[in-house]
């Protein structure tokens, strides 16, 4: 009897199974052959051969905004030497220039400065210099034309032994607000080993020439939810990686925005990996009601999946960001209507590194006006770096020589 029931049920089971399988197959086929609406103008503009057969690239292209143009596309010149005190100087590291502001008829810029050779981590890290930005203080210079500069002296020094910034203060950014001046910067406490967790400090003054008052505690720290593996100084060995900024908080920049203060920064994760876009670098933001903080990290962090040095500016009610060097979206300019949710606006080439923006530019003239000229740095060698000048231009046509 059981055998008879089984024989009677078997065709039904096979029928249902086949129907179910065919249904899944049909669904997949329908999804694969889903029609994409495209106007004749889009087809012509994108050069699509047959709208009935769309590659993945063509499908992405059809999602591009209708007003996609070249107003965000620029090309950078090669760096040009500066004159005066910021010209190349043997034995000296000057790097990571801040944005420039103009006060008292002069441009002001702040930067990291150190001397001596870079030893790396193989020797005596307590007394050696492990990176070019190790054992730095923050200096500043002024210029009437942005080309010839006068070094004015030290602005912010390393802290006393035992302080959170006793080893190095570097990679500085400037903000002016309510007739006060604010410098945010990276800070490292000794000893500087490969697992050290740096912080972000703040200094403020009533004049761009100082004197500067430093915050007693950092205004930003790395996330504390990663777990190192073992006691060996190996920054790639972890039990748990933690948040995108569990190891480092770098390149701080504070912008007044929407009645608050947005501190943009680069995060480095414990156990950092190399991906198909290079180093695993992402950006985050922390927000405060007051320039001095407290700064609270956004729950939407990270706000980029690529980038290196922070380069951000206000435009059209939102925030623009130049993303360079690392990650799958490197070498792009992105824009966000709310300072958090960024979309790619253009792909660029030849971008300057560690850009010091010209904050006197008319941000609203066009999206990239602030990038027409500014400061950058180059490696003369690993022991000597110097600040340079860059320029950029919009590229609107492509013509052959003599055309």
Write down the number of H helices and E strands in the chain. 3, 26
Count the Cβ atoms, other than its own, within 10 Å of residue 262. 21
Distance separating alpha carbons of residues 374 and 256, to the nearest angstrom:
21
Question: Whole-angstrom Cα distance, residue 264 to residue 336?
Answer: 13
- Residues paired with 185 in a beta bridge: 201
Among 281, 215, 216, 279, CA closest to 248: 281
According to DSSP, the residues that pair with 100 across neighbouring strands are 358
Q: How far apart are CA 229 and CA 351, in angstroms?
A: 37
* CA count, 13 A, side-chain hemisphere, 98: 32
Distance, in Å, from the CA atom of 179 to the CA atom of 107, rounded to the nearest integer, reads 16
**Which residue do the tokens 């697992």 mark?**
195
Q: Token pair for residue 29?
A: 């086929």
Helix residue spans in 131-283 (DSSP H): none
111-125 as b/e: b if 16+ CB within 10 A: bbbbeeebbeeeeeb
Give, as one character, the DSSP assignment of residue 104. Answer: T
Which residue is associated with the tokens 């000597």? Answer: 384
Cβ neighbors of 361 (< 8 A, separation 6 or more) are 369, 370, 372
Contacts of 171 (CB under 8 A, 6+ apart): 96, 112, 133, 185, 186, 250, 251, 252, 309
What are the per-10-residue average pLDDT scores of the chain (403 residues)?
42 43 46 68 92 94 81 94 98 98 97 96 91 98 98 98 98 98 98 96 98 98 97 94 98 98 98 93 98 98 97 98 96 97 94 96 96 98 97 90 89
Residues 6 or more apart from 168 whose CB is under 8 A from it? 114, 133, 134, 135, 136, 158, 186, 187, 188, 192
Instruction: State the pLDDT at residue 17.
Output: 45
Burial class (CB in 10 A: 0-12, 13-18, 19+), 172: buried
Predicted pLDDT at 271: 96
Q: Write out the DSSP string of 134-175.
A: TT-EEEEEEESSSSEEEEEEEEEPPPPTTSTTSSEEEEEEEE
Structural contact between residues 331 and 72, judged by C-beta atoms closer than 8 angstroms: no
Q: Give the predicted TM-score (pTM) of the model.
A: 0.90
What is the predicted pLDDT for the residue at 194? 96
Distance CA 310, CA 356 (A): 10
Token pair for residue 203? 């200094």
Distances (CA, A) of 235 to 148, 229, 232: 41, 9, 9
Contact 195, 222 (CB under 8 A): no
For the chain, how many residues are written? 403
Secondary element (H or E) of residue 83: strand 83-84
In the prediction, which pLDDT does 35 show? 65
Alpha helices (H) along 33-101: 40-46, 56-61
Other CB atoms within 10 Å distance of the CB of residue 189: 20
SS3 393: strand
Class of 74-394 in CATH: mainly beta
């Amino acid at each position: 009897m059981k055998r008879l029931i089984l024989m009677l049920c078997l065709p039904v089971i096979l029928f249902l199974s086949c129907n179910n399988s065919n249904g899944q197959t049909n669904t997949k086929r329908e999804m694969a052959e889903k029609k994409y609406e495209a106007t004749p103008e889009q087809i012509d503009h994108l050069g699509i051969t047959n709208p009935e057969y769309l590659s993945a690239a063509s499908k992405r292209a059809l999602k591009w905004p209708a007003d996609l143009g070249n107003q965000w596309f620029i090309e950078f010149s090669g760096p040009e030497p500066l004159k005066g005190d910021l010209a190349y100087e043997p034995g000296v590291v000057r790097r990571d220039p801040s944005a420039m502001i103009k006060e008292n008829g002069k441009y002001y810029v702040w930067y990291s400065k150190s001397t001596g050779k870079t030893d790396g981590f193989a020797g005596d890290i307590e007394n050696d210099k492990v990176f070019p930005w190790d054992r730095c203080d923050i200096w500043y210079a002024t210029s009437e034309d942005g080309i010839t500069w006068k070094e004015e002296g030290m602005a912010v020094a390393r802290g006393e032994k035992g302080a959170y910034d006793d080893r190095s203060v570097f990679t500085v950014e400037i903000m002016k607000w309510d007739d006060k001046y604010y410098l945010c910067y990276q800070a490292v406490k000794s000893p500087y080993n490969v697992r050290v967790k740096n912080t972000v400090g703040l200094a403020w003054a009533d004049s761009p020439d100082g004197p500067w008052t430093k915050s007693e505690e950092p205004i930003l720290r790395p996330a504390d939810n990663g777990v190192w593996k073992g006691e060996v100084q190996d920054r790639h060995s972890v039990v748990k990686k933690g948040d995108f900024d569990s190891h480092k908080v770098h390149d701080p920049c504070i912008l007044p925005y929407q009645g608050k203060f947005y501190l943009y920064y680069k995060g480095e994760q414990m156990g950092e990996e190399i991906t198909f876009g290079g180093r695993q670098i992402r950006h985050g933001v922390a927000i405060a009601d007051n320039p001095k903080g407290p700064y609270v990290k956004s729950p939407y962090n990270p706000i980029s999946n690529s980038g290196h040095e922070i380069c951000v500016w206000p435009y059209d009610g939102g925030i623009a960001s130049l993303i360079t060097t690392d990650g799958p979206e490197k070498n792009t300019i992105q824009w966000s209507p709310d300072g958090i949710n960024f979309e790619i606006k253009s792909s660029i080439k030849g971008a300057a590194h560690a850009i010091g923006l010209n904050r006197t530019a008319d941000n609203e003239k066009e999206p990239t006006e602030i990038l027409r000229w500014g400061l950058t740095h180059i490696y003369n060698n690993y022991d000597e770096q110097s600040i340079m000048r860059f320029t950029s231009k919009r590229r609107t046509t492509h013509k052959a020589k003599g055309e």
